[in-house]
Amino acid sequence: MATREPVLNPVEEPAWEIAKLFPYQGEWSEEEYLALDTNHLVEFTDGHIEVLPMPTIPHQRIVFFLQRMLWMFVIERKLGEVLAAPLRIRLRPRKYREPDVVFMFAEKLAEQGIQYWENVDLVMEVVSPDDPSRDYEKKRKDYAQVGIAEYWIVDPIQRLVTVLQLAGQQYEVHGEFTPGMRATSALLAGFGVDVTEIFDTTS
């Protein structure tokens, strides 16, 4: 009896056809972006989407710690609300970011919808190693242009926390804080975080 040769499966390729179901870069509408159903962080600028890298465990530990510290301070004083990514922030028409941690004063909350926030008061970003310029330069410019009063840049590689406060349409450095120091807010009097504790969460 003749033996049959095993049937070899062809090399599987990505399902490229799926991509055709979505708009081309540069052609995304705001409505199409908001309808995007994904567990990835995706930001949107003038018809273009940017899929951000999946956060690492150390990154998420820092985000959770910062959110918890800020949330406890805000809730105790009934100042507003603190949320963390994934959360869309609409900076202007056709421009969205997803900061790691976001604070908004209570008087603005009633104006917000269920898909995104606008006119937030403080944002925090944990610097991603894939593209530090995203947090240090691009988002610094974006957040200043729309009038976000305070921006924290938390850099695990340099073990540095930079707190920026808005002056006109640009940020000024309120303080640069390293381990052994307490990073403080200019916007929220009395709020501060031990920098050593921030980065110790990653170990």
CATH number, domain of 149, equals 3.90.1570.10
Q: How confident is the model at residue 79, as a pLDDT?
A: 98
| Shared-domain flag, residues 46 and 135 | no
Residue 139 is assigned to a structural domain of this protein: yes
- From CA 38, how far away is CA 31, in angstroms rounded? 15
Task: Say what the pTM is.
Answer: 0.83
Render 66-116 in DSSP notation, one character per residue: HHHHHHHHHHHHT-EEEEESS--EEEETTEEE--SEEEEEHHHHTT--SS-
Structure tokens at 15: 């399902």
Final residue before a domain boundary, out of 33, 51, 69: 51
Q: How confident is the model at residue 51, as a pLDDT?
A: 78
- Average pLDDT per consecutive 10 residues, the chain (203 residues; last block may be shorter): 55 62 73 74 75 88 98 98 94 91 97 93 94 94 96 97 96 98 98 98 85
